Amino acid sequence: MQDMIKIKIVKREDPNKKIGKHPVLKYRLWPVALISVIFLFFSFSYMFSSADITINPKWQDVTIEKNFSAVKNSNSSPISFDLVVISGEEKRTVETEEKRNIEVPSRGKAVIYNNFSSVPQTLDIDTRLLGSNGKIYKTEKKIVVPGRGKDGKPGAVEVGIYASSPGVEYDSPPLDFNIVGFKDTPKYGKFYGRSNGEISGGVKGNLYVISESKKGEIVNSLKNSLKEKLLKKASEQIPKGFILFDKAVFLNVGDTNVASFSPNPQVPLKLEGTLYGFLFEEAELTKKIAEEMTGGYDGSDVYIPNIKNLGFSLFAQAGFENGDNLSFAEMKNINFTLKGEKKIVWKFNSEKLKKDLLGKDKKDFNLIISQYPNVLSADMVLKPFWRMSFPNKAKNINITVNYPE
């Protein structure tokens, strides 16, 4: 019997028929995926969108040469000033071989009292005072002792005093005084004095001295050093928002008769002084300058770059000379001049603009900027570039103001 050939046919499955692999379904998912990617792209772009704005504020060149007035610690005057007061001393030791006979009287200060009547009493220069140590001292200048007050309190005035003769024997701790000229009158004992601190500096003898010409050079050098040192201290104490012009400081050294002698060849020199400086509130002064130097100033916030560099000069007023022998502590008002070439710059409120732009259409930018009269020009860039409106969050709006120097 002939062998029979058996053929087994094995049917293979089409791999494309597996679940999820249908060719039609596959190609239909591609557009959905693409749209999803685009949607995500735009969503992230909007999430990280921003606006960059550059503002060029209004400014004006001015030539300042103007007189101003100011009142001390005033709330009503357009300009007020405050006074900074700092005292100090400068020392130096100088080698010398020159000797000379020196006679210097002891000096100090005394308060003279009027417990006699309510009528003021004039005392001439060199009025003699008898100290409780039995020695005679004299007043350095003419004074008027106020009368006794309604409350019975004696009138009082302070005056410098000096010993009637040179020598260390007139040096003394605080003393009581009677007025010699009132002896044997009802005023004696009713007008009296008491020294304010010790009396010192009396000298008599052959001592080492510094020549007057050399002393003058050294005293000037000490003045410059002391002024520089005190000015540095004053500058460190200036409150924020206040300015102290370089020429608005004055060094008062009082009696410049600096002792320039010693029993030793090494002669010590000491200069004591007080620095007075006029402080101004920067914003207040700047607005006053803008009011005087620009037409139609509307009171907007302005500033002057490097305003401290303006030239300042105090000029003659109320019995005072320009910077010489001024009683600074007594001054209640001042007149001064400011000079210089400066820019007055209008400040820009960036935070307000941010609020005004939140969520606004791009096309409204110029209209919004036009509502800021203190802007010369403005540029804007939105990111991404296809955005047609500003971000809804202020933190995504960046504003740069190009203030001139």
Q: What pLDDT digit, counting tens, does each position of 51-70 carry?
A: 999 999 999 999 999 999 99
Residue 4 lies in a domain: no
CA distance readout (Å), 57 to 25, 54, 245, 369, 394: 62, 10, 27, 11, 21
What is the extent of the structural domain holding 137?
102-206
Number of domains in the chain: 3
pLDDT at residue 324 greater than cutoff 50: no
Instruction: Return the pLDDT at 212.
Output: 85
Give the sheet arrangement for strand 50-57, strand by strand: 375-383, 50-57, 397-401
Pair 154, 200 in one domain = yes
Q: What is the pLDDT of residues 159-175, one digit of tens each?
A: 999 999 999 999 999 99
pLDDT at residue 258 greater than cutoff 80: no
Structure tokens that stand for 333 in this block: 């008002």
Q: What is the pLDDT of residues 226-256, one digit of tens each?
A: 999 999 999 998 999 999 998 999 998 866 6
Pair 237, 379 in one domain = no
Residue 213 lies in a domain: yes
191-195/136-139 β-pairing: unpaired
Q: Lowest mean pLDDT: which of 2-16, 325-339, 387-401?
A: 2-16
Distance separating alpha carbons of residues 381 and 360, to the nearest angstrom: 14
Pair 122, 66 in one domain = no
Average pLDDT over residues 361-379: 94
- Of 343, 364, 385, the position where a domain reaches its end is 343
Pair 331, 363 in one domain = no
Whole-prediction pTM: 0.69
Write the Ramachandran bin of 190: left for phi over 0, alpha for psi from -120 to 50, otherwise beta: alpha
Percent above pLDDT 90 for the chain:
68
